[in-house]
Amino acid sequence: EVQLVESGGGLVQPGGSLRLSCAASGFTFSSYWMSWVRQAPGKGLEWVANIKQDGSEKYYVDSVKGRFTISRDNAKSSLYLQMNSLRAEDTAVYYCAAAGGYDLLWFDPWGQGTLVTVSS
Amino acid sequence: SYELTQPLSVSVALGQTARITCGGNNIGSKNVHWYQQKPGQAPVLVIYRDSKRPSGIPERFSGSNSGNTATLTISRAQAGDEADYYCQVWDSSTAAVFGGGTKVTVL
């Protein structure tokens, strides 16, 4: 069964840090672009970051550049998102998703999401 | 940056056809993907590359894309189709853009 499972969410104070993880199974993780997508409470979907299969290319939405870092460990079939200098507006459910093989395509599958709450 | 515009809500009678639009500048030149999200659940891909259905998605779901508008069509709408629907494209090849989402209500 193809599966993505996120972990690492929680409550953090403004200015704090958090590291999200996403464990993949059921498909060849190392062959896929991977992404993080977030959804603020009651809001729509927002793309956050992409990483190429070998980690050589990384792209971020402007609002997280310099604060978030996407990374991966293909040996562990795992994706990560290091989030620093967190702000209230980063509060959201964070989803990891596979984003395509030879190129950035569509998001499928998605994980179940992990909630990050930034509040004092 | 590229923007996608969706109606906030669409209502459809049970068994009838719902059409959800996604507007963008010359969107017909891009590949559009559609996701269904039910409350408390992760999004699910229902249409990719404008009109292709992933395995397991009913034939009642179809898509089209031309000019400045892409459309997701749900035929013979069922109660289980009630959800939020999002369109998505890639801007400058590396940044994903989502529409604001459309809430579909089956009456």
Instruction: Report whether A96 contacts A36 (CB < 8 A).
Output: yes
Residues A45, B98: C-beta atoms closer than 8 Å = yes
Query: Chain A contact for B8, CB < 8 A?
Result: no
Q: Is the pLDDT of residue B75 over 90?
A: yes
* A32 Cβ under 8 Å from any chain B Cβ: no
Nearest CA in chain A to B46: A108
Q: A40: how many CB neighbours lie within 10 A of its CB?
A: 13
Residue B27 has φ and ψ, to the nearest 5°, of -60, -20
Q: Which of A44, A108, A111 sits opposite B86 (nearest CB)?
A: A44
Of A60-64, A102-106, B92-96, which has the strongest mean pLDDT? Answer: A60-64
* Signed CA dihedral, A72, A73, A77, A82: sign only: negative
Give B22's pLDDT tier (boundaries 50, 70, 90): very high
More confident residue, B1 or B102: B102
Q: How far apart are CA B74 and CA B63, in angstroms?
A: 9
What is the average pLDDT score of chain A?
Answer: 96
Q: What is the pLDDT of residue B97?
A: 97
Mean predicted confidence (pLDDT) in B46-56? 96
Contacts with A106 from chain B: Cβ below 8 Å: 33, 45, 48-49, 88
Element (H, E) at B36: strand B33-37
Surface of A (74-103) touching B: CB under 8 A: 95, 99
Residue B45: list chain A partners with CB under 8 A. Answer: 106-109
Name the pLDDT band for A85 (thresholds 50, 70, 90): very high
8-state DSSP, B43: -
Instruction: Specify the long-range contacts of residues B23-26, CB closer than 8 Å, at least 24 apart.
Output: B23/B68, B23/B69, B23/B70, B24/B68, B24/B70, B24/B89, B25/B68, B26/B67, B26/B68
Residue A69: Cβ within 10 Å count:
16
Give the count of Cβ contacts less than 8 A between chain A and B: 59
Tokens of B26: 């010359």
Q: Do A110 and B86 touch (CB under 8 A)?
A: no
Any B CB within 8 A of A111 CB: yes
Q: Which residues of A touch B37 (CB under 8 A)?
A: 45
Q: CA–CA separation, A68 vs B102, rounded Å?
A: 29
pLDDT of A5-16, one tens digit each? 999 999 999 999
Give the mean model confidence (pLDDT) for residues B45-67.
97
